[in-house]
Structures are given as structure tokens and as C-alpha cells.
Structure 1
Amino acid sequence: MASSSLQHMAQGLIVQSKTLINNDLKRILKEEGVVSSGVKATLQARVIGLIDRAVQDNDHALYNRLQHRIANNGASPSSQSTPSYNPQTPTKSSPLVNGNGNMQGYPQPTGFTHYQMARSAPTNHFKASPFFEIRESILEGIALEPSPSHRQNCNKSLTLNETTCHRLRSDRSLRLLLFSAVEQPLAPYTRLDVAFPSQIEVRINGEEARANYKGLKNRPGSTRPADITDLVRIAPANYRNNLLITYALTQKRYNLAIYMVRKFSVEELAKRIAELCIIPKRDVLKDMRKKASDPDIVVESSVMSLKDPISTLKMTVPCRGMLCHHTRCFDLESFLQLQEQAPTWQCPICSNHVSFEALAVDEYVQEILSKVPKAVDQVTVEPDGRWSIQAANTSSKSNAHSDDDDSDEDLVEISGPRVNTIKSEVFATPQSLARTPPIPSREASSAPRTGSKRGSEVIDLTLSDDDEPVRPTKKVAQGDPPYPPFIDSSP
């Protein structure tokens, strides 16, 4: 019969197992006597199967081993460090010690039993993120009641003990984050997205904590927790910080909490993926040749862009999801920076969901980037995997050449005193037309014209000099230079 305590903690252990890399999963399966070959999804399913078996058989020894292995990258537990599970003799734990425990899916601190971790687990269980790891619960029990029409205030005191203050001062990667989520009936058994009320203002000691509390529109899970570290006074210890939350226009109850987390930079995460998760070149070529040999599919050469679709710059570390079926990649750091700002975890090429664990560096595209000149941003890829540069840039060069030719033919510059005279005749406005006659005189007159006034002449600029009729001599306008004399330079 399955133990209710094990069932309660197994969900967090399953989430934590999904953060392991292939080598750790294989090591766990091999030492537990299970087949350790296959892709990552298969390895994860086998480890989860071991956890489920321990829960169903109420096998605390197996569960303890699995928890130690998952928390220590597959390492075997020693006889001294193996914690004993004894629900009859619980040990009272401090409310401020590492409260994430197994329920959050993060590494278990040494010296704590499973019962202690269950007792100190946070009330709100948020979805894990590769950008931070929850280390300690600082303040919980912040409830925002529904307020559909009026503004409401919530005041709380935040006091940090000397140990927490010392850790924050000595390690800059430790941050204080404000989490929020909509209250749900099954919150202890589910992973919640970070979500704040639509209108909220957070102040620490009178200063506003500026953050993006809304995320992307109609995209649950795209909101980040608010970083309030710089506004909290950590010296002196036991200082009473004032937390004021003002909110409105919400019909749901929100639960907020403050956790101390270990924050990971984009560079650290990119380095971890580049070292551990690689799609070998031989696997890429094997897949391309398999598609090319399919008689039902006609595969031709294609142009592959070497630019990142997010930043439009040339890629540095080409990356794609291991479950994506396209060969084109995106830049690893640019993608992680985008997810840090708004975590949607969507492939920018095929728009499919791609998790952090599924990201991998494409060795085939990385080799192309290392061999092409800096000015080249696309290559032509053949169905068998061969690639070239010349064919990719021929079209752009020919288009540029044709554009230059067209521009040379269309734009013809004509200069000379004769052209200037014609321009002055066309655009000059006679003084007799500059004056506007009164309104009654604008009516058409049927009387014949008398006098010596000449009618307006129409000048056809399409006529050549040979076809142009002989025109009477005209007076040169003031300011226009006279025609230059004809000089016969022939001997």
C-alpha cells in the first residue's frame, strides 16, 4: 500500500529528476539495475518509474536512495549521509531554514529528513525556472483578498536575521524575489505560474519596487517574480522593513511570498548547455540523408540563414530544440535573454514549445559558422549535408548588379546653357500672371482677342534639335547668361 507521505513528496522529486542531464540519469538507472540506453525522454520515464515503484511498494529505502542520487547528480548515498525516514519521530525545524525542500524540486540540504522538508515546504509551489533556485523562505502568508472596485492596501513587516543578512552581503548571486499566484484549491499538489493582480504597486520602506507585473498579454507563465533585493535593508540585522502592497480591480485571491533564491546568469546557463547538451554532427547528417533518401519526399538544396531570428545578428552559439525537426538554429544567449525577460519557452523558428532541458548546441551549424568568413550570413545546403558559399551569394550579387544597371539607365544627367534656358522658360512666371484678377473678371469672355498679346506657347521637350522648328529670336532674360560663342576647335 502506498504511503501518503511518499505520495505527497514524490511529485517534487519527479520535477527535480527532470532537471538532470543524460549522464546523471544513466548513472541512476545503471546503479539501480535498469536499462540505461535511449534518449533523454526515455531515461526520464524510467527514473520516474522507479519513483512510482518506491511509492507504490512503500519502499522508503529505495525512495531515500533515489532522492539522494537525484540531488547529487546520480552519486550513490554513503552510509553516513543517508537520511533515515521515520514519520513517528519528527524533528521540529526552523521556519527560516531552506524551505523549498523536495516539494519545490530543488536539491535537498544535507542533514534534513524528508519529514522536515515536508514541514518546512512553502505554501505556494511555483514552477521551476532555470534562472533561479529557491534557497530559503523569507516571508509567507501574504494574502490579497478580492477587490473588484476599490483600492486595497496590505502592510507587512519584513525582518531578516543575522545569518540571512550575512549570506546576502557575501554572495551577490543571492536575491530576494517576490512571488505571487492566484489561489487554487489544489495548490499544494500543482506547480503555479507567477501572476500578480492587474493593478498592483509594491513599496519597500517607501520606495517603489519597479517590475513587470503583467507579463505578456494572454500568455500565462510569462510573468517573472519581482526582485526587491536592492530595496530591502540588510544592515543592521533584524531591521524592520516595511512592505506596502496596493492593488485593485481583481476578483480573485492572490497569495504572495518572498524567497531568497540563487540566481543564474544567462552566461552561466549558456555555458552549461554548450558543455553538456550537444547534437553531434553525425546525427544531423544522418537525419538529413535519411530524409533525402525517402522516395516519397522530394528534397532540394536550400539556403540556410546564419542570422539569429531574434536579434537578426549573426549567431555565435547555434542552438535548437532536440525535438525540433528543422535544421536552422537560433543564437543560444539571445534566446535565453528573451526567456529571462518573458519566459514563453517557444521556438522562434517553428513556434513549438521548447524547454530549457531540451536545448542543445548544433555541432553541424557550429562547424559552418567556424569556417565561413564573417561577412557571409547564409549558405546553400545540399540534401546530403554538403554546403557551399558561392551559390548562396550569387543571387544577391546579380540582383545588386542589375539594380546598378537600372539606376544607370534611368538616371541621365543633362547639363548645359541651353537646358538652363529651357528650364527658365518653363518654370518662370510672367509678371502679368502673378496678379490675381478680381472675381467678376474670371468669367470667360466671348469677345475676340485684340491687341498685340501673344498666346502661350507649348514647348515639346521630346523633340530633338533636328526636328525643332525655327523659332524667332527672343530677348535674353536678365540674370540668364548669354549663349557661349561657338568655337571650332578643328584644325
Structure 2
Amino acid sequence: MASSSIGPSRDDVAGLCRVAQTPGISKPQLQNICVVNGLAKTGNKADLQRRIVNLIQDSERSQDIQRFNEIKASIYNNAPVQANAYRPFTNLTTQSPLYSPAAAGPAHTNMAPNGYAANGYGGAGAVNAQRPYSQTFDFKRSPFYEIVARVGEVRTCDVMSQHRQTVNVHVRVADYPVLNHVNNDPSLKVMAFCAAGNTGVQEITFPWQSELKVNGGDIKANLRGLKNKPGSTRPADLTSHLRLKPPTYNNNVEFTYALTTKKFYFGIYVCRVTPIDQLVEKIQKSKRIAKDSVIHELTKKASDPDVVATSQNISLKDPLSYMRLVVPCRGLKCNHIQCFDATAYLQLQEQGPQWLCPICSNPAPFEHLAVDEYVKDILTNTPLSVEQVTIEPDGRWLLPSAQNEQKNQSQAETSFVDDDDLVIGNVSSRQSTAATPNRSAYQFSTPAQESSREGSSMPPRSTTSSKRPAAEVINLTLSDDDEPRPVKRANTNQGNGFNGWAQ
């Protein structure tokens, strides 16, 4: 494209006007171009084309090259341009890292020099469920990947309330040179995306009943995300299933869906993925919560006359992995001191993005994650065996003292004794009666209807409840040399038992 340093050249403007007036452009495509450029979409085809041409000429008169390029991108992103028509020059590999749907259009046209029809997707007479859709929306950004280029057109998946429908996308390296870089750069992946809307920023949403195949092989990917958690679906990685050599090999991507009540929009993109360790390093180098600011907040709360300041315990373990914190972080909007580990949190979000703090459930997107230097200082100055510390209202932190541990252990032993003091009391009573048979312990006996060993029975108890059997209080170790004091017979109307000794 020849252009001056000030604005678009006359040849560029004339060529783009010819493209806008191409008879093969349908009315819906012209309406999309008008909507993208802020023009009214009412009227017939001639009215729509006239508005677009006037807009192109306005950019020439104002010498606005940026506006001209935006109009050009919208036209080539929405119109089936023929091979002999004017086409802009765009290099996919030098595309801006921040992907936008408008930029994807001309980038794609450079990858497919034979034009729209040569891509194998059909023209205006294509099957409705497989018709290409001119993308006017963007997918929600993710720190785990960024879209570099689109492979082919976005496909409209029409409503299928009773039947199954399959959308086929053919991928050849010869048609999309950007795929050559996938073989040599492991950070580049070919991924399948799907959206439930066609305007604004969209979450990744596949139909509930859907499946993916590449060259006949199933793609084992979770296309539903977390249950009842919108936005938790990840794109499906197709890279390992594609044959990128030889460049002329025709890969067939099959997307089958059923039982839908609305349209979906399916597309394939080349993405650059970012590993978790690089994301953690990025967090460490970007946002930090200063140690002094944490102490200031603690002392500020402690000085509040309406708040009773007390010490608090914080765990040095991650609430997700239960391992010791390595990179303690929390969201900038979190009001708690407790932290979670950056690596564990990102691993969880990579599996199903929700971006909610695991401690307070407040939003904690990647852009709001920060390393807590106060907790980081605690981790640096404590042994690996320490699992929690006590935070004082003035910001000082203390290790659990040995005295507190002994106190807790003593309380635990006391509680154990209290639970079983009845058992211990019975044992001591048995030992006492063995030494002094005339102790009052003999007044506790079994009821008369219960038989005792060797034909002997004790007088019935004065109480009607007993926790242990009568055999536990019978004394069989008395000496014949001792002269036991006669025991007064208990007043009872039950049985004719002896008074405890043989006559």
C-alpha cells in the first residue's frame, strides 16, 4: 500500500471505495461495517454503500491515516473480497500483542492470499450452520494466554433445538503462514474458542452438549467449565492434534453441538501462552503491599475507641494447597492479613477461572494480586516448622510460646480426667476396701435381684442407679484374721440376701 506520511493516497482511497461497492457484499455485511464505524444501518444496500464510501472519502479529506486504516480493517473483516480486489498488507507475526477483532480481519486476509472463497468456507450460499461470521466482538482477556491471530473465519452455530449439527473448519499451514511458527515456538498454541454473543466482550461459552474432533480424533477437553460458574470455561487446545507438516495437509476440525436455544460463535485462534512461573514473577515485580502500610492499618484499628483490639493468629499455610506459603499474596481490595500462595492460586484459576479470593470470596483478578511484604517478612524470619504466628494490635508478631503450649496440654489432660473420673473413682474404692474392709464403701451394693459370685450378695443399694456392675465392688481379698465389724442390715423389702458375710 502506498501512502503518504500525512494521509491515505488517492489510489488507496479509490481502491477501498471499489471494494465497498463490490456487488458480492450482502446487506448484513454492509450493516456490520456501518455499525463498526458508527454509521446508521438502515436503508437498502445502495444507501449503506454510499455511507461507507463517504466515510472513506472523509478520511482522505481530513488526512487521517489512522481512521482510514480502521475503516479498511472493518471492510476486509466483514466483506468477501475477491482475489483481484485491492488488499492491504498486514503481517501477522508483527501484530500487536493486544488482540482486537478489527485487527484480525486484515491479518487473516494476508494469510489467505486467494481470498475468501479460497478458504473453503463457501460464499453466500453456504449452509447456515457453517456460514462465516464477521467478528464484531472480543473474548475476555486472560493472563494465561493472549490471542495473536485468528485462523479462518468465526462460524455461526445456529439454533439446534432437536438435532445435532457439525461445523467443519479446514486448517492448512499453506493458507495460514502464522502456523509455521507454532512448530518452532512452544509458547504458541492453536486453540478453539466459542461465545454465546456477538457484541462487546464475551466469556468463553460452548454449548452444553458439544464435542470437538481433529482429524477424527476426540479432543479431551472440558467444554463446560465449573458447574453453575459462568466464565470458568477454558479454550480447547488443538495443537497436539494438528498436522502442520507438510504445509499442504488439510486438517479437519469438527465441532458438533446439539440442543441449543440460541446462537453460538465458534472460532480457532493462535495464542501465546504464559506459564504460571512467569506470572508469579510478574506479580512479584509489579504490585506490592508494603510492610509499613500493613502495620499502619493494624495500629489504626487498635486506636479506634469503638473497637476492642485483641491479638489474632494467622496461618503460614496456603488455604488451597495446605503447604507453607512461598509467595504470599492477596487482592488489593482484601481487608484481611491472611494470605494465599500465588502459585497455588494461579494453578486453580488456570483449571477454572473464577478469580475470587479463597479467604473472603471477594474478586481478586490477576491485575489486583499483590505480594504482602509484611507476611513475607514473617516467612523469612521463621523456621519452616512454624505453621502460625500471633499478630499483636501494634503490629508485632510472636511465635507460639512454650508456656502456652504447656498450658494447652495441661488443659487437655484435665479435660480427659474429668471425662473418666467415674471409672477412676470405682478403681480407688476397690483398692480402699481391700485395705480396710469396714469402710463405708460396702454400703454401695448391687440390687437384691442380681446374683453375685459364690452365692454371696451385698445388701441392696440405697440408690436405684449404678454405672458399673455389682461385681466390681465385691471384695474377695479379706483376711480371715480380721474381725469385721457387723454391718447394719439395710432396710429393704427385696429378697432374703445375706448381710455380706457367711454365717
Q: Indicate the TM-score class for this superposition, using the shorter chain for normalisation.
A: 0.5 to 0.7
Which residue number corresponds to residue 277 of structure 1? 287
Deviation at 1:294, TM superposition (A): 1.6
Which residue number corresponds to residue 223 of structure 2? 213
Q: How far apart are the structure 2 equivalents of 1:276 and 1:8?
A: 35
Deviation at 1:172, TM superposition (A): 0.3
- Aligned residue for 2:379, secondary structure, equals helix
Q: Per-residue CA shift, 1:191-227, capped at 9, x if unaligned?
A: 1000001111110001111111111222211111111
Preserved CA contact (<8 Å) 1:160 1:239: yes
- Aligned residue for 1:136, secondary structure, equals strand
Which residue number corresponds to residue 117 of structure 2? none
List runs of 5+ in structure 1 lacking aligned partners: 11-57, 65-82, 413-453, 471-491
Q: Per-residue CA shift, 1:436-464, capped at 9, x if unaligned?
A: xxxxxxxxxxxxxxxxxx99999843125
List runs of 5+ in structure 2 lacking aligned partners: 1-32, 39-57, 73-85, 111-132, 425-453, 459-468, 481-503
For 2:203, the aligned partner's letter is: D
Q: How far apart are the structure 1 equivalents of 2:256 and 2:297?
A: 56
In the alignment of these two chains, the number of paired residues is 349
Deviation at 1:405, TM superposition (A): 6.9
Quote the sequence identity (%): 36
Deviation at 1:150, TM superposition (A): 2.1
- C-alpha distance 469-346 of structure 1, shift in aligned 2 (>3 A): farther
Q: How far apart are the structure 2 equivalents of 1:9 and 1:349?
A: 45
Preserved CA contact (<8 Å) 2:135 2:154: no
- C-alpha distance 203-376 of structure 1, shift in aligned 2 (>3 A): same
1:115-154 to structure 2, matched below 5 A, reads 122-154=135-167
Which residue number corresponds to residue 373 of structure 1? 383
Q: How far apart are the structure 1 equivalents of 2:360 and 2:178?
A: 44
Q: How far apart are the structure 2 equivalents of 1:212 and 1:394?
A: 53
1:4-83 to structure 2, matched below 5 A, reads none
Preserved CA contact (<8 Å) 1:100 1:137: no
- C-alpha distance 469-153 of structure 1, shift in aligned 2 (>3 A): farther
1:65-464 to structure 2, matched below 5 A, reads 86=68, 90=72, 92-93=87-88, 97=92, 104=99, 122-161=135-174, 163-184=177-198, 187=199, 190-391=200-401, 398-400=407-409, 402-403=411-412, 460-464=470-474
| TM, length-normalised to structure 1 | 0.62
Q: How far apart are the structure 2 equivalents of 1:155 and 1:88?
A: 30
Q: Which moved more, 1:158-167 or 1:226-235?
A: 158-167
Asked which structure has the greater CA Rg, the reply is 2
- C-alpha distance 88-95 of structure 1, shift in aligned 2 (>3 A): closer
Q: How far apart are the structure 1 equivalents of 2:282 and 2:207?
A: 35
For 1:136, the aligned partner's letter is: A
- C-alpha distance 468-291 of structure 1, shift in aligned 2 (>3 A): same
- C-alpha distance 159-95 of structure 1, shift in aligned 2 (>3 A): farther
Q: Per-residue CA shift, 1:36-64, capped at 9, x if unaligned?
A: xxxxxxxxxxxxxxxxxxxxxx99xxxx9
- C-alpha distance 94-466 of structure 1, shift in aligned 2 (>3 A): farther
Q: How far apart are the structure 2 equivalents of 1:350 and 1:359?
A: 14
Q: How far apart are the structure 1 equivalents of 2:161 and 2:70?
A: 47
Relative contact order, higher structure (CA 8 A, sep 6+): 1
Q: Per-residue CA shift, 1:104-154, capped at 9, x if unaligned?
A: 469x99xx99xx9xxx99544100001101111113232222112222222
